Chain A
Amino acid sequence: MKKKLMSVVVAASIAAMSIGAVPAMADTVKIGVYEPASGDNGAGGKQETLGMQYANSIAPKVEIGGTEYDVELDIVDNESSNDKGPSAASKLVGDGVSVVLGSYGSGVSIAASDIFKEGGVPAIGVTCTNPQVTQGNTHYFRICFLDPFQGSVLANFASENFGAKKAYCLAKLGDDYSQGLVFYFTKAFEALGGEVVKADFPEGNSDFTSYITEAKNAGCDVFFTPTSTEAAANTIEQAAAQGLEIPLLAGDTWDSNVILNAAKGKNVKIYVTTFYQEGGNADFDTGMKEFINSDATNVANNGGDDTIAAVSAMGYDAYFTALEALKAAGTTDPAAVNEALWNVTYDGVSGHIEFDSENGDAIRSSAFVKVVNTETGAWDFVSEQTVSE
């Protein structure tokens, strides 16, 4: 990867010298990528970053205020950790980025929010779905739907498709994402006349057998567990081993090939809500697959194959949204980009993106539901679910 970059740089500088007209120092605009590459959410973070890198590879330049700039992605690893995230965020602010994309995972986004605020840098949340990320601030935007929405979509889906009356909800202690999603699911599910059994598991837990037994004993109709993919792999394995017959439901995090690999060949039913379904945009799919397969590192970062994760599509859209904001601002000054973001609209592969004027959240009205095909190890589209009023 590095070598390749080097050769591109060398080739570019040779070309520049031979033409002679281009200034020696090309203007560069930096876009910060604040994503996890390790820890609980490392798998998803890497896929989201891949989407941005692909976008960067097809649109490496942007015209801002009449000048052409090279776009440089400044990628840091927030280690999926609320403690370590802020220092990664400070590095981005220190590097002088114009806008930040990320993160995958709401906890780390909330943890870094103040750093970006103090540094005067706007941030675009890509797939952090917890409302607190954008609430009460003017610098954090987001292009995906929110947990209250996702929670009610899943609750509606459970009651409409399975006639579920009782749901088992499992969240991780101290995890903003899963706790938030369970909270909104519970609210919507109870409003629909259902009943909820809630349980928590501690950090570092890998034994989910007791939770599965409890869900069985309580006579639940669905098992809602919007956890990180690491916990998910264990849950799926153990649910299959214990012959859990009720469907597992989860949020966008589970839209990952980690889940597909864990579920392949096993007798489990897994439904997830997500931002993008492979096949939604043929051009993007082919391009993205080519990009992934062009480099062994990319394949590894994507989890070993070329399945397109919804978060990659979102990362791709986030990059172009940021370019739109830079164009609209007409300058690389973060404060101006922040102002410009409020009015940016962009039609991405995941749908139309437009920010509301209150919190800077994307206005979205539906989510995709898909199911794991345990024979082929791929996602099958189920429906586009909206919330019943």
Chain B
Amino acid sequence: MDWLSKNLPYLMAGISVGGQYALIAIGYTMVYGILRLINFAHGDIFMCAGLIMVYSVTVMPMYLAIPFVLVTTVLIGFLVERVAYKPLRSAPRMSVMISAIGVSYLLQNLALYITGGLAQQYPTIPWISDVITVFGVTTKRVTVITPFLVILLVVSLVFLIQKTKIGMAMRAASKDFETSQLMGIKINSVISFTFIIGSFLAAVGSLLFFSNYTGVTPTVGAMPGLKAFVAAVFGGIGSIPGAVIGAFIIGISENIIKGLGWTTFSDAFTFALLIVVLICKPTGLFGEAATDKV
């Protein structure tokens, strides 16, 4: 029991942070699956969701603010695709990537301008921010809910992709972009839909992440974004289950490393792990050619 109460906090933090990385990683992996584009602005959309929450609770009650954050974040994701990526659809892939980096810096600097560069305190969301005790370990309720919520969202996402018409269109687009266009799939709406799902999950991730780690700064999206990207590559970019499992592995192992006392190396470890996986299995854990790349 003593051993449990000493080590459980690391595991819980790891699973919870892993779940939050997973929600961001899905956005990376889906966009890559269809467009073969690494959407560098994704971490910043996550940050925007946090900032919108900070500012929206000052003008509206919490039960309105949460749906408002989800809707506006989705809108930002949608607009970013329409404005910065769609006009470059036939351009070389490198141009789109540079455009993504541009969007990333644009969002960061806009946030810098709005916040004045200071950390904003994230509002307390009732119920999920309550402090609870699990097996003698004190933590916030959000830590415990996160993994379940993530699994629920992922299952419904997989269902959406496997069973619905738009899901089929997404699968087709990820298999062969041009052919699916010739087959009458409205490729632009499929892509927009992908960005909408990705941004929605990033917004949910931000609600969970910032409830635990309450400071929102303009660059706060960079690290979680990078880690989620690593998770997506780790699991095999393009594969949703891969991204989720990769995210949990990264979240848990970086907290175990901290628990072992090697706090200095927790980030170094994450990226070393990426290198090792890429050397041994260049396509990532689940990134085989046969996998559906959605």
Q: Are A241 and B140 in contact (CB under 8 A)?
A: yes
Please classify how large the interface on chain B is, using the bins under 10, 10 to 19, 20 to 34, 35 or more: 20 to 34
Q: Are B213 and A207 in contact (CB under 8 A)?
A: yes
Question: For window 225-275 of chain B, which residues contact chain A by CB distance below 8 Å?
Answer: 255, 258-259, 261, 263-264, 266-267
Q: Are A234 and B258 CB-contacts (below 8 A) given A200-B263, A204-B223, A241-B138?
A: no
CB-defined contacts of A79 to chain B, threshold 8 Å: 117
Ordered by A's residue number, 30 sampled pairs between the chains whose C-beta atoms are within 8 Å are: A37-B117, A38-B117, A38-B118, A43-B118, A43-B119, A199-B261, A199-B263, A200-B263, A200-B264, A201-B263, A202-B266, A204-B220, A205-B223, A206-B215, A206-B220, A207-B255, A209-B13, A209-B212, A213-B9, A213-B13, A214-B263, A229-B119, A230-B215, A233-B121, A234-B214, A234-B215, A237-B214, A243-B131, A262-B121, A303-B118
Q: Which of A42, A43, A202, A210 has the most CB of B within 10 A?
A: A210
Contact of B9 among A39, A204, A209, A234 (CB under 8 A): A209
CB-defined contacts of A201 to chain B, threshold 8 Å: 263, 266
CB-defined contacts of B112 to chain A, threshold 8 Å: 38
A381 CB, nearest partner CB in chain B, Å: 25
**Docked CA distance A303–B121 (Å):** 11
A108 CB, nearest partner CB in chain B, Å: 14
Q: Are B258 and A238 in contact (CB under 8 A)?
A: no
Q: Are A202 and B259 CB-contacts (below 8 A) given A37-B117, A262-B121?
A: no
CB-defined contacts of A64 to chain B, threshold 8 Å: none
Q: Are B259 and A213 in contact (CB under 8 A)?
A: yes
Contact of A233 among B137, B212, B214 (CB under 8 A): B214
CB-defined contacts of A300 to chain B, threshold 8 Å: 116
CB-defined contacts of B223 to chain A, threshold 8 Å: 204-206
User: Is A261 interfacial (CB-CB < 8 Å)?
Assistant: yes
CB-defined contacts of A237 to chain B, threshold 8 Å: 213-214
Please classify how large the interface on chain A is, using the bins under 10, 10 to 19, 20 to 34, 35 or more: 35 or more
Q: Are B13 and A207 in contact (CB under 8 A)?
A: yes
CB-defined contacts of B213 to chain A, threshold 8 Å: 206-208, 234, 237-238
User: Is A258 interfacial (CB-CB < 8 Å)?
Assistant: yes
CB-defined contacts of B192 to chain A, threshold 8 Å: none
Q: Are B219 and A204 in contact (CB under 8 A)?
A: yes
B224 CB, nearest partner CB in chain A, Å: 8
Q: Are A214 and B259 in contact (CB under 8 A)?
A: yes
Closest residue to A262 on the B side, CB-wise? B121
Q: Which of A202, A208, A303 has the most CB of B within 10 A?
A: A202
Q: Are A230 and B214 in contact (CB under 8 A)?
A: no
Q: Are B222 and A39 in contact (CB under 8 A)?
A: no
Q: Are A241 and B139 CB-contacts (below 8 A) given A43-B118, A206-B213, A217-B6?
A: yes
B123 CB, nearest partner CB in chain A, Å: 12
**Docked CA distance A169–B13 (Å):** 21
Q: Are A243 and B263 in contact (CB under 8 A)?
A: no
CB-defined contacts of A205 to chain B, threshold 8 Å: 223, 267
User: Is A224 interfacial (CB-CB < 8 Å)?
Assistant: no
CB-defined contacts of A135 to chain B, threshold 8 Å: none
Q: Are A39 and B119 in contact (CB under 8 A)?
A: no
Q: Are B258 and A42 in contact (CB under 8 A)?
A: no
In the complex, the 5 A-B pairs of residues with the closest C-beta atoms, listed nearest first: A38-B117, A210-B258, A243-B138, A204-B223, A206-B213
Q: Are A233 and B215 in contact (CB under 8 A)?
A: yes
A235 CB, nearest partner CB in chain B, Å: 10
CB-defined contacts of A38 to chain B, threshold 8 Å: 112, 116-118
User: Is B10 interfacial (CB-CB < 8 Å)?
Assistant: yes
**Docked CA distance A201–B264 (Å):** 6
User: Is B217 interfacial (CB-CB < 8 Å)?
Assistant: yes
**Docked CA distance A332–B17 (Å):** 56
**Docked CA distance A147–B50 (Å):** 35
Closest residue to A204 on the B side, CB-wise? B223
Question: For window 21-53 of chain B, which residues contact chain A by CB distance below 8 Å?
Answer: none
Q: Are A242 and B116 in contact (CB under 8 A)?
A: no
Q: Are A173 and B264 in contact (CB under 8 A)?
A: yes
**Docked CA distance A43–B117 (Å):** 8
Question: For window 354-372 of chain A, which residues contact chain B by CB distance below 8 Å?
Answer: none
**Docked CA distance A210–B6 (Å):** 11
CB-defined contacts of A46 to chain B, threshold 8 Å: 118
Closest residue to A266 on the B side, CB-wise? B131
Q: Are B9 and A242 in contact (CB under 8 A)?
A: yes
User: Is A211 interfacial (CB-CB < 8 Å)?
Assistant: yes
**Docked CA distance A129–B17 (Å):** 35
A224 CB, nearest partner CB in chain B, Å: 15
B129 CB, nearest partner CB in chain A, Å: 8
Question: For window 110-133 of chain B, which residues contact chain A by CB distance below 8 Å?
Answer: 112, 116-119, 121, 131
**Docked CA distance A237–B117 (Å):** 20
Q: Are A211 and B119 in contact (CB under 8 A)?
A: no
Closest residue to B258 on the A side, CB-wise? A210
CB-defined contacts of B214 to chain A, threshold 8 Å: 233-234, 237, 262
Contact with A along B169-205 (1 / 0, CB 8 A): 0000000000000000000000000000000000000
CB-defined contacts of B119 to chain A, threshold 8 Å: 43, 229-230, 233, 258
**Docked CA distance A200–B265 (Å):** 9
CB-defined contacts of A199 to chain B, threshold 8 Å: 258, 261, 263-264
CB-defined contacts of A173 to chain B, threshold 8 Å: 264
Q: Are A213 and B10 in contact (CB under 8 A)?
A: yes
Q: Are A210 and B140 CB-contacts (below 8 A) given A38-B117, A238-B212, A262-B121?
A: no
CB-defined contacts of B217 to chain A, threshold 8 Å: 230
CB-defined contacts of B6 to chain A, threshold 8 Å: 213, 217
CB-defined contacts of B138 to chain A, threshold 8 Å: 241-243
CB-defined contacts of A238 to chain B, threshold 8 Å: 212-213
Question: For window 85-131 of chain B, which residues contact chain A by CB distance below 8 Å?
Answer: 112, 116-119, 121, 131
Question: For window 208-260 of chain A, which residues contact chain B by CB distance below 8 Å?
Answer: 208-211, 213-214, 217, 229-231, 233-234, 237-238, 240-243, 258
CB-defined contacts of A242 to chain B, threshold 8 Å: 9, 137-139
**Docked CA distance A158–B258 (Å):** 25
**Docked CA distance A243–B267 (Å):** 26
**Docked CA distance A46–B115 (Å):** 13
B18 CB, nearest partner CB in chain A, Å: 11
